């Protein structure tokens, strides 16, 4: 039979109730001592928090707990609390305790005792448990089953300073997820806000979608770091590129094998899922897994157990699944290459990361980020002259810059310019060379000249006979507008891309309306061009 996990109680010393100074009906009942003596609860360790001026009473309570529950280890913690009714002071002291305490949630269960202490302390204990700074369940003791339970006022609107502290923690979490980059794209910032909430509140799988180079792997690492900081995970992050383990070795790599399971299996192997026990497993390019591996993965997600290759006994692992892919998984399901039941299981929290070309507002802060990274890598201070910066950003945010490799392209561009710049000071000469290099590289990736014919046919198909009357200038402009519209998610999204520069020069600009009017000049509507 499995041995029960140790129970640890974290509680505030009750300077009135624990001292036996309350109203007559409470005189023979001291909550902290009584909780440890409870018949149905074996307390392995009591972490007793107390203001420094009440150390003597805390020591008396520790001795009395030792009398009624010899198996309970009592540890005293003096907190810097002068006024137990000062919300900010109490919260700060408890928050500092929670941040410094070493929790072992894999081996111990934690209870947060909120019967004792001022109501301010009870509020703070509740909030720290709710935010997982104290990763345990609340417990409230009583001398009789029918005793009235105090209602704790949790209206944060009354406590602006504590609300501000929570807001700062939320901002810090968002900064962590964004790698410290002050992103400006509203849609991406909303994505980060939602992802932060999900990472803090849920252990369900998280699916990150996006093209190569948009930062799925980096964001997965940040999610893990956030969850570990919030004590929702204690184990390691195991990263697996599923494209590299396709074939016969994929099953063994993921789920492990026993010695002799197949030719060459000279030693047992735990597998990546077992290695991620207590932590997170990031399956990058999950769409590359074979159907057999997908079926086994589904079982491992749902049941937390699976049989390694050649084994009679199952392995267990409790891990958070993070997955990434640049594939259209619903289309893969329709084609029979991805299991519908697995997609349904991992599609609860799905976040699509936009490409760099969709985040023109974020190119400048990411340029600064890459300059800092390059400086660290090269061991010299990489900077840009003002004219060089203006020239590079002008190209980088134009429609000519498609950034097919996304942030990898940007990172490579900055690294090359800084390496070739004398003393790391990037000038317009390095920028011009890099722009030419990017144009050449991207042209090589673009479709052949037959694609131009295809675009030209699209203009003819949409405009009809009037296409023959279009000037070459108007036709070329319309071709580019149609390309942007085809790739955009909405009329507003297409408008933002097409008018990104002129928008900054006007006090107000309705991009969607401008695009709608420009299309109307050619007798076109959004519904017609978006198909």
Judged on CB neighbours under 10 Å (0-12, 13-18, 19+), 523 is: exposed
- Whole-angstrom distance, CA of residue 220 vs CA of residue 228: 12
Low-confidence ranges of the chain (pLDDT < 50): 1-2, 24-26, 146-156, 448-456
For residue 264, give the DSSP letter.
T
Alpha-helical regions (H) of 379-471: 386-396, 407-420, 428-445, 450-463
pLDDT of residue 451: 39
CA distances from 33 to 55, 62, 68, 143, 325 (A): 16, 8, 8, 12, 54
Cβ neighbours for 142, distance < 8 A, ≥ 6 positions apart: 115, 149
Task: Delineate the domains of the chain, giving CATH numbers in brackets.
Answer: 7-154 (3.40.50.10770), 177-352 (3.40.50.300), 356-445 (1.10.8.60), 450-529 (no CATH)
Cα–Cα–Cα angle for 439, 445, 451, rounded to 5 degrees: 105
pLDDT of residue 152: 41
Q: In whole angstroms, what separates CA 300 from the centre of its chain?
A: 22
Beta bridge partners of 12: 49
Which token pair is 331?
């289309």
Half-sphere exposure in the Cβ direction for 361 (13 Å, CA)? 13
pLDDT of residue 448: 45
CA distances from 310 to 18, 315, 399 (A): 59, 12, 55
Asked whether the beta carbons of 234 and 279 are under 8 A apart, the reply is: yes
- Whole-angstrom distance, CA of residue 337 vs CA of residue 305: 24
- Whole-angstrom distance, CA of residue 283 vs CA of residue 275: 13
- Whole-angstrom distance, CA of residue 205 vs CA of residue 348: 7
- Whole-angstrom distance, CA of residue 439 vs CA of residue 210: 23
Q: Scanning the structure block, which residue is given the tokens 């107390």?
A: 50
- Whole-angstrom distance, CA of residue 281 vs CA of residue 275: 9
- Whole-angstrom distance, CA of residue 106 vs CA of residue 91: 26
Helix (H, G, I), strand (E, B) or coil at 243: helix
CA distances from 316 to 94, 290, 300, 307, 323 (A): 35, 22, 8, 9, 20
φ/ψ region of 256 (left if φ > 0, alpha if ψ in -120 to 50, else beta) reads left
Mind spelling out the 3-state secondary structure of 80-98?
CCCCCCCHHHHHHHHHHHH
pLDDT of residue 22: 54
pLDDT of residue 139: 86
Q: How far apart are the first and last CA of the chain?
A: 62
Which token pair is 427?
């000038």
For residue 139, give the DSSP letter.
E
Helix (H, G, I), strand (E, B) or coil at 63: helix
- Whole-angstrom distance, CA of residue 222 vs CA of residue 122: 32
Asked whether the beta carbons of 124 and 98 are under 8 A apart, the reply is: no
pLDDT of residue 466: 72
pLDDT of residue 456: 45
- Whole-angstrom distance, CA of residue 163 vs CA of residue 124: 12
Q: Scanning the structure block, which residue is given the tokens 């070309």?
A: 357
Asked whether the beta carbons of 110 and 134 are under 8 A apart, the reply is: yes
Helix (H, G, I), strand (E, B) or coil at 294: helix
pLDDT in tens, 332-371: 999 999 999 999 999 999 999 999 988 889 999 999 999 9
pLDDT of residue 310: 86
Q: Scanning the structure block, which residue is given the tokens 């994929």?
A: 250
Asked whether the beta carbons of 342 and 298 are under 8 A apart, the reply is: yes
Q: Are strands 280-284 and 320-325 parallel, antiparallel or unpaired?
A: parallel
CA distances from 21 to 57, 64, 115, 414 (A): 12, 16, 15, 70
List the one residue out of 498, 394, 402 whose CA is nearest residue 441: 402
Asked whether the beta carbons of 92 and 162 are under 8 A apart, the reply is: no
Q: How many CB atoms lie within 10 A of CB 286?
A: 27
- Whole-angstrom distance, CA of residue 316 vs CA of residue 248: 22
Asked whether the beta carbons of 122 and 10 are under 8 A apart, the reply is: no
Which token pair is 466?
């009037």
pLDDT of residue 503: 65
């Amino acid at each position: 039979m499995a041995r029960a996990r140790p129970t640890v109680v974290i509680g505030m010393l009750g300077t009135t109730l624990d001292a036996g100074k309350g109203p007559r009906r409470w005189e023979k009942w001291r909550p902290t001592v009584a909780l440890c003596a409870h018949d149905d609860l074996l307390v392995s360790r009591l972490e007793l928090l107390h203001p420094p001026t009440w150390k003597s009473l805390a020591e008396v309570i520790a001795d009395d707990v030792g009398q009624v529950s010899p198996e309970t280890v009592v540890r005293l913690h003096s907190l810097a609390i002068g006024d137990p009714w000062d919300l900010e002071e109490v919260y700060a002291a408890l928050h500092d305790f929670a941040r410094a305490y070493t929790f072992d949630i894999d081996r111990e269960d934690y209870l947060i005792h909120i019967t004792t202490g001022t109501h301010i302390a009870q509020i703070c204990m509740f909030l720290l448990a709710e935010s997982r700074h104290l990763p345990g369940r609340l417990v409230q003791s009583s001398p009789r089953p029918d005793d009235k339970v105090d209602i704790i006022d949790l209206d944060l609107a009354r406590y602006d300073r504590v609300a501000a502290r929570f807001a700062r923690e939320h901002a810090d979490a968002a900064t962590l997820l964004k790698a410290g980059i002050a992103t400006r794209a509203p849609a991406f910032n909303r994505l980060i806000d939602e992802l932060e909430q999900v990472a803090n509140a849920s252990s369900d799988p998280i699916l990150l979608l996006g093209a190569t180079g948009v930062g799925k792997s980096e964001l997965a690492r940040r999610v893990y770091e956030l969850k570990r900081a919030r004590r929702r995970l204690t184990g390691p992050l195991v990263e697996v590129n599923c494209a590299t383990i396709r074939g016969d070795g994929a099953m063994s790599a993921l789920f492990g094998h026993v010695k002799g399971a197949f030719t060459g299996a000279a030693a047992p192997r735990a597998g990546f899922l077992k290695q991620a026990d207590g932590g997170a497993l990031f399956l990058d390019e999950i769409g590359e897994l074979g159907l057999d591996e997908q079926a086994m993965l589904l079982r491992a997600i749902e049941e937390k157990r699976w049989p390694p290759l050649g084994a009679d006994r199952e392995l267990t692992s409790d891990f958070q699944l993070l997955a990434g892919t640049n594939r259209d998984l619903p289309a893969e399901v329709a084609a029979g290459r991805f299991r519908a039941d697995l997609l349904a299981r991992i599609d609860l929290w799905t976040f699509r990361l936009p490409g760099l070309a969709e985040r023109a507002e974020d190119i400048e802060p990411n340029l600064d980020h890459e300059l800092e990274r390059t400086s660290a890598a090269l061991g010299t201070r990489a900077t840009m002259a003002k004219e060089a910066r203006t020239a590079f950003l002008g190209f980088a945010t134009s429609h000519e810059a498609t950034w097919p490799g996304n942030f990898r392209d940007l990172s490579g561009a900055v690294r090359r310019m800084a390496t070739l710049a004398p003393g790391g000071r990037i000038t317009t000469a390095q920028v011009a060379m890099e722009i030419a290099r990017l144009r050449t590289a991207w042209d090589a990736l673009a479709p052949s000249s037959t694609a131009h014919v295809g675009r030209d046919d699209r203009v003819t198909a949409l405009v009809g006979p009037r296409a023959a009357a279009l000037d070459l200038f108007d036709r070329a402009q319309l071709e580019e507008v149609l390309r942007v519209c085809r790739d955009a998610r909405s009329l507003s999204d297409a408008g933002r891309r097409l008018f990104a520069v002129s928008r900054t020069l006007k006090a107000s600009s309705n991009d969607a309306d401008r695009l709608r009017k420009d299309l109307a000049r050619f007798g076109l509507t959004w519904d017609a061009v978006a198909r």
